[in-house]
Structures are given as structure tokens and as C-alpha cells.
Amino acid sequence: MIKAVDIFGPRMVNPNFVLGVEMAKPYGFTDVSTAVKSLADGWDFLMGHGILPRHRFWFIEKGSAFGDQTPPPLEYYIETQKAYFELRQKHNMEMPYATQMGGFCSYVPSCQMDWEYYHGTGTLSKKTLEARGYKGIPDYDKSMSSRR
């Protein structure tokens, strides 16, 4: 992957992580903070080499090898999303292009867009969009305020 950055460029190599499986029994982490730190350390290494990981949440499916597992707690998912956002800021990495193309739709089950919109400084942040003349994204702002 690191060599691929020389060919495709920074941010253009995007390995996928499935969030949550590192807490699967019997060998996974047993506490949220250790699991998040391990994952964030991996992301930090990759981003430090120009690789922008992407991720999806682990969905437990009956009948699969992990079908009898209990998913990680909500805290785990919130902390991983926060760590991802902070690492993107640290390494000056914009949101993945495919995510930007999707805009503020909910086809990806994560809160990456929420962190970016409300706390970010990149091209999809509320601050940047408003500076470019956008008056916010009414449907998105309305749906987000109803979640709080």
C-alpha cells in the first residue's frame, strides 16, 4: 500500500476497515479504549504514509462465523469516528472522494459526514460551505438537529 501511494498519489489508496470485529470473542479486545487505540494507531501509521483508510461498520449476520456475537457498544463507534476525524485533521486528509461525491446522503452508515460538517475545516465543512455562499444544507441541518 505504501508503494501504491507513489503511483496513485496521496489519499488515493484506500484500504477498507470493518469496524467492530476487533472486539469479537474469543480473541478480540475486551474494552473500548484499547480497541479504539489499536485501530487509531493503525490509521495513524497509514495516514502518515499518505494512505487514507475507509471503513464500514460490522453488521452481525445470523448463520455467519460471528453470528452469535454481541456488537460493540455505541461508545466504541463514536470513539472510532472521533479518532478517524482527528487523525484526518492531523494528517491534513480531506474526506475520501467517493464520500464527497455522495454529499450528505446516508448511504454510508457512519458519522464521518457529521464530524466533517460540524467540526471540520475541509471542503465539506459547514464553515467552508457557508464561506462559499451556501446557506447551509437545510435538509441535513434539520435531520441532524432532530437527532440531538
Provide the grid cell at 77.
463507534
Task: Check whether residue 110 and residue 128 sit in a common domain.
Answer: yes
State mean pLDDT over 83-99. Answer: 80
Provide the grid cell at 11.
489519499
pLDDT for res 111? 63
Q: With 0.75 as the threshold, say if the pTM is over it.
A: no
Task: Check whether residue 17 and residue 83 sit in a common domain.
Answer: yes
Q: Which domain holds residue 84?
A: 1-93
- Taking the C-alpha atoms of residue 114 and residue 81, their distance in angstroms, rounded to an integer, is 10
pLDDT-derived band of residue 39, with 50, 70 and 90 as boundaries? very high
Task: Check whether residue 88 and residue 101 sit in a common domain.
Answer: no
pLDDT, tens digit, 9 for 90 and up, residues 47-76: 999 999 988 888 888 899 889 999 999 999
Task: Check whether residue 22 and residue 49 sit in a common domain.
Answer: yes
Task: Check whether residue 7 and residue 78 sit in a common domain.
Answer: yes
With beta carbons less than 8 A apart as the criterion, state whether 62 and 22 touch: no
Q: How far is CA 117 from CA 7, 94, 128, in A?
A: 31, 12, 9
Task: Check whether residue 79 and residue 103 sit in a common domain.
Answer: no
- Of 14-18, 29-33, 46-50, the range with the lowest mean pLDDT is 14-18
Task: Check whether residue 49 and residue 72 sit in a common domain.
Answer: yes
